[in-house]
Amino acid sequence: MMKKPNNMMLQTLARLIILVVLSFSIYLMLAGHNSPGGGFIGGLMTASAILILYLSFGLNPIKKVIRFDYIKIIGIGLLLPGITGLVSIFFGFSYLKQFFGYFHIPLIGEVELTTALPFDLGVYFVVLASALTIILTIAEDDK
């Protein structure tokens, strides 16, 4: 795709846009428990932000900047929900039982922490990495 990425308008705008999109995606991911959002949506949003980068700057330059192996991220994402589920077993509850509590953290104030957060983070990673892997694999395919 994008044989000669020299679209200046797109590149300049992309630098601005992805800042907004990325921060919004992280907000969506974290806010998911109480307002619209969550791991799935956040993951897709981050994926589309990174896609904008690939679209505007081309595959190889971005690959030098983002050096994650997405398949490994999928693995980590799959492990996270599985392991958070296991935690409750050690305390004698059923698998995947959720706990939550309110904690006071200096500077930030009262924060709700849940075991659903690492669970959702796993979903986030899997969705993000899956979308990117599929698209990049197809993009890199030169038949």
Partner 1 sequence: MTLLHWAVLSPFIAAILIPFLYKYLKRIHTGWFVLILPLALFIYFLSFIPETSSGNVVLNNLDWVPSLGINFNVYIDGLSLLFALLITGIGTLVVLYSIYYLSKQKEKLNNFYVYLLMFMGAMLGVVLSDNLIVIYVFWEVTSIASSLLISYWYTREKSIYGAQKSMYITVFGGLSMLAGFSLLYVIAGTFSIRELIANADLIMASSLFIPAMILVLLGAFTKSAQFPFHIWLPDAMEAPTPVSAYLHSATMVKAGIYLVARLTGVFGGAPEWFWIITIAGLITLIWGSISAVRQKDLKGILAYSTVSQLGLIMSLLGAGSAAFYFQDGDSPLYMTAILAAVFHLINHATFKGSLFMAAGIIDHETGTRDIRKLGGLMTIMPVTATISLIGLASMAGLPPFNGFLSKELFLTGMLSVTEYGIFNLEAIGFIIPIIAFIASVFTFLYCILMFYKTFMGKFDISKLKVKHVHEAPIGMLISPIILAVLVVLFGLFPNLLAYSIIEPAMAAIAPGILSPGEFFDVHITHWHGFSAELFMTLGIIVLGVLLFITFRKWENTAFYRGEQDLFNYAYDYGYDGLIKGSQWLTRIQMTGRLRDYFIYMCTFIMLIMGYTMYRYNLPLIQNLDLSPIPVYTWFVILVFLGSILTIPFLNNRIAIIITTGVSGFLVALLFVLFRAPDLALTQLLIETVSVVLFMLVFYHLPKLKKVKTPPKMKTIKLIISIGFGLMITLGSLSAFSMGQEANYESISEYYTENSKEKAGGYNIVNVILVDFRGLDTMLEVLVVSLAVLTVVSLIRLRFKGGEDV
- Residues forming contacts to partner 1 in the complex (CB under 8 A) are 1, 28, 32-41, 44-45, 47-48, 51, 55, 71, 74, 77-78, 81-82, 85, 95-96, 98, 100, 112, 114, 116, 119-120, 122-123, 126-127, 129-131, 133-135, 137-139, 141, 143
* Closer by beta carbon to partner 1, 26 or else 139: 139
CA distance 24 to 62: 21
CB of 38 to partner 1, least distance (A): 4
* Closer by beta carbon to partner 1, 5 or else 120: 120
3-state secondary structure (DSSP) of residue 129? helix
Q: Which of 30, 34, 53 is nearest to 43 (CA)?
A: 30
Token pair of 62 as six digits: 């971005």
Token pair of 126 as six digits: 């899997």
